[in-house]
Structure 1
Amino acid sequence: MKQHEVTRHHATPLLNPAYPPVVPRFTHREYLNIVYRTDPDALRAVVPEPLEIDEPLVRFEVMRMGDVTGYGPYTECGQAIPVRLGAERGEYLHAMYLDNFAATASGREASAYPKTIGSPALYVDHGALVGVLDYGTIRVATATMGYKHHELDPEEAAAQLTVPTFMLKLVPGYDGTPQVAQLVRTRISEVAVTGAWTGPARLQLDAHVLAPLADLPVREIVSASHLLTDLTLAPVAPVHDYLAR
């Protein structure tokens, strides 16, 4: 292979890349969101400056992807933290767990999503919408919500999904020192809400050293939503460079 041909490829392995060269469109994406109040000191320990925290809140999410361009169906879950950058309010993505390696690799390499492998699931059980996360053989999160108890305004649902999202892009150099250390921003676009509900909810997080969701403990359930959507993820853009001199 000639040198100029190498750069025509987008990812390694060279002839069998870990993820496809597509901008994914998410169709029939289903959310279970539970917003809860947590310990302020625990939040301050994990949210990087220059992001700021106004209230000690966390959004636990489980997402079942009905169909994704280039990847097919998969399930994902994680924690997002409401934050502020200057006058702009958004969410900082703290942790994400997926059952799809290609989506995990592309999210981390081509963007900055804090993705790692796990075994999440979203399903209905005896009148409850249930979201769970297993890490290996250990259950680390269980969320339940009354199934379609009250309809939610679609505009309010879309507003939940389209807040700016902040993430850390960290890439080490070959000597272990940081090569890239940036705070980046993105935003979900082209959202179509096809169903939205709210209702009572509960969330249990269990301690695990490699899946430390419980380090942001549940103090009080604030709200819950069950959303059905189609959407597209926009590209990221750097908003702060930690290595700038």
Structure 2
Amino acid sequence: MSVSKRSEKYDSVASVGLMDRPYDFAIIAFYSVFTLTTALIDYHNVLAPALGQTVRELCKGVSWRPLNWPPQIVTEVYLLWADRVDPIMAENPVFWQIMEWINVVFLTPGNLIMIYAFVTGKRNFRAFGLIHCTALFYSMFLCLGTGLYGELPAANKLQFTIVYSIYATFPIVIFARLWPEIPNVFAKDAVNKKNIYQIFIQWLVGAHFILFVAYVYHWLTVEWEPFKQYPSWMPYAEIAIEKSNHILREVFSSANKSNIL
């Protein structure tokens, strides 16, 4: 085999740099959000029983906690969310504690491993990534099912679904990204020649993530006292929706008068 052909063959399977894989930045961001969520939120459900406390006692600062972690400001929001939206977080039944231990011991280290894999383009982690996102998928559907239909259902199912569903759709992106049976999913061809399903999923989850961030921000401006000083986008959205409806009504009215419809 000539040098040029060997070089061409190598280039077709060699990982390209992260800057040449822009969508992978979003995947890395998702893994980072998962990791921060565990460290700041889910850790309450593991730490409280380990200290012989209820989650509410831990959140209200009844006694000492290691390194004063999670930060008190996060704990306040955590308890507020539990009271207003997701009561199972504060009740912390045994099966929930087990799920959170799995999250802390297995899923979160897996997040860090996959961040490393996507940053460096290590194709050897593809199989692990598929196994890991399967576990993420399972745990989040368990969470959604419990919140919607369990013995301690969400107090506000709409808010619950909007916020938590992003954690269930994210593993679908990982499936789509890592599933193709090619020599290297981080190679140039794999990045540039995505099929229509991968492209659709990317745009769909991107829109979902924007909705997630916007809604969480809106919820904080409405529910959490320190955040109420910041403007909410909801009034502007309502005005935009009303104007859009007005325009549509005028269009349909004109069409009816012209016998177009």
TM-score range, shorter chain: under 0.3
Q: State the TM-score, normalized to the length of structure 2.
A: 0.22
- Specify the structure having the higher radius of gyration (Cα): 2
Larger helix proportion of the pair: 2
Comparing both structures, which one devotes a greater share of its residues to strand? Answer: 1
